[in-house]
Amino acid sequence: MEYIYQEGLQTAPPLLLLHGTGGDEHSLIDLANALSPDSTVLSLRGRVSEAGANRFFRRFAEGQFDLVDLEVQTDYLLAFLIEFSNTHNIALSDWVVVGYSNGANIGAHLLLERMESPNRGIFFHGMSLGKHEADFDLAKKSVWFSAGINDPIVPQEATKALVDAFQMRHGQTDVLWTKQGHQLTYEEVASAKEWLATKGALK
């Protein structure tokens, strides 16, 4: 798996970066530096190519996801992260998964559907994929979401369904709604940074 690794301070939460469709391992580095400049950063490139655009799992069309491939890629992502964490002496639960769009979708799926996974997530413009089969308690999971009420790609109902999936299993959630579309905004970054400094901090 192609990635960028930047070692930071052990006192800062390590960040796992998952880009959106068409991005790569470089796409969210500036975001990570804005959120927590002292953090260790592991930024991954999605393994799936859609007409040359990198993704973390396949889809058949906009909003029509290949749920079989989603499970395959989620398992691969988790196995990679476990091995990487062991090699670099980082607790799996300490990672904060930072995902945008497609990266937010697989990141949220990882926390929802795999019991052995990071405990915190920052998800920009993610959505429910319509598949939540696990039922283990999420009381230890703390997740921040952002969404735009004018997002042409992610319907409000799909974001609400994702948040509900965490809340129904006792996950701790914070949600920022903006009047913007699918793009990242300064408002979102500032809110996520504040959340990370408090609820996302290492215990």
- How buried is 11 (Cβ within 10 angstroms: 0-12 exposed, 13-18 middle, 19+ buried)? exposed
Is the model's pLDDT at 119 over the cut of 80? yes
For position 57, what pLDDT does the model report? 97
Query: Catalytic positions, please?
Result: 101, 151, 182
- Contact yes or no for 131/153 (Cβ under 8 A): no
Helix, strand and coil percent figures for the chain, each rounded to 5? 35, 25, 45
For position 200, what pLDDT does the model report? 74
Segment 5-29 mean pLDDT = 98
- Give the side-chain half-sphere CA count within 13 A for 90: 30
For position 202, what pLDDT does the model report? 67
What pTM, to 2 d.p., does this model score? 0.97
- Which pLDDT band holds residue 4 (cuts at 50, 70, 90)? very high
Domains of the chain: 3-198 (3.40.50.1820)
Is the model's pLDDT at 63 over the cut of 90? no
Segment 166-193 mean pLDDT = 97
pLDDT, tens digit, for every residue of 81-110?
999 999 999 999 999 999 999 999 999 999
Which percentage of the chain shows pLDDT scores above 70? 99
